[in-house]
Structure 1
Amino acid sequence: MGSFSIWHWLVVLLIVVLVFGTKKLKNIGTDLGGAVKGFKDGVRDGNTTADAAVPPSGQVTGAQPPQADKTTIDVEARNKS
């Protein structure tokens, strides 16, 4: 009773496939694989010190961009008193 046989696991797999469907399981596997690959790339890139001074593209920093986009409006929020 402590361990499951191969037949138990096959029945569980069959139920999962019937509930989610093969297409959804394929999408989940693809998404999970992409997330693992992205995590590994991020860890590998985080270990290099040469690129430490340059933030990744799209990351928000305190520095202003060299030229502001003409369609962007720069505003400052103020508290009501």
Structure 2
Amino acid sequence: MAVSSSSPPSLPLNTIVHMLTIKLTSSNYLLWRNQFVPLLASQELFGYLDGSITAPSPMITASDGTPKSNPAYTS
């Protein structure tokens, strides 16, 4: 039986950098944005920029009540 995943496969950062063929300058924002936004949306990251997705808390409370690093924050 096949297992389905709800999130798209992530691209490594070095691959993403090579997909952006336009370097942002003071005169080409709209052109750059038209290339960058779909890339972020395809990786389900654009919501972090527009505020529709909030970042996870850096710390969580462990079952014993002590604070610990949130693995969802670092991944």
Q: Name the TM tier (shorter chain).
A: under 0.3
Higher Cα radius of gyration:
1
TM-score when normalising by structure 2: 0.26
More strand by share: 2
More helix by share: 1
TM-score when normalising by structure 1: 0.25
